[in-house]
Structure 1
Amino acid sequence: MKHSEFWQVLDETFGPGYGRSVAEDLVLPGAGGRTAAAALAEGVPPRQVWDAVCDEMQLDESTRWLHRIDPDDPVRRSRR
């Protein structure tokens, strides 16, 4: 997962405004007790941070793997 994919699936999952709030405010035990934004800034791989977000927010498996679906795939477009 690239940083750009992290931000894209975060926005698709939560919406741009709330997604940024999740990244800045939600402390993630799976990211060493840091927020997603802090963990990324400190070099934690985006995939590990995304997994921590999914775990903390109890997101389903289809959302966890959203970054693996082509953005033009009808399944992914229907989530927008």
Structure 2
Amino acid sequence: MRLSHFRELMEGEFGAARAGSLARDHVFAELGGRTAEQAIEAGIDPKNVWRAICDAYDVPSARRLGADDR
């Protein structure tokens, strides 16, 4: 998954302001105690970061691929 697609999914699900805050501030155990931004910077595939966020925030499977893929 490209980083741009990850960002689109984040903004589509959480809104621009909340997506940015969530990526910067929320620490995920599933990502080794990192934030989403730290995980991506550490080389974790954005697809795996997105999955961890979806699991943590109970994003329904119908929305995990974005609005265009519903």
- Same-fold status (TM-score > 0.5): yes
Task: Give the corresponding residue for 1:35.
Answer: 35
Aligned partners of 1:5 and 1:67 also within 8 Å: no
- Residues 1:50 and 2:50 aligned together: yes
Q: Give the CA RMSD over aligned residues.
A: 1.6
| Bigger Rg, which one | 1
Say which SS state the counterpart of residue 38 (structure 2) adopts.
Answer: helix
Q: Where does structure 2 lack aligned partners over 5 or more consecutive residues?
A: none
Show CA shifts across 1:46-78 (max 9, x none).
000000000111111012222872xxxxx5xxx
Aligned partners of 1:36 and 1:49 also within 8 Å: yes
Q: C-alpha separation between the residues in 2 aligned to 1:14 and 1:56?
A: 13
Relative to the length of structure 1, the TM-score reads 0.79
Say which SS state the counterpart of residue 22 (structure 2) adopts.
Answer: helix
Identical-residue share of aligned pairs (%): 33
Deviation at residue 25 of structure 1 after TM alignment? 0.8
Show CA shifts across 1:3-40 (max 9, x none).
11000110111110010001011111221111001001
* Alignment size in residue pairs: 70
Relative to the length of structure 2, the TM-score reads 0.89
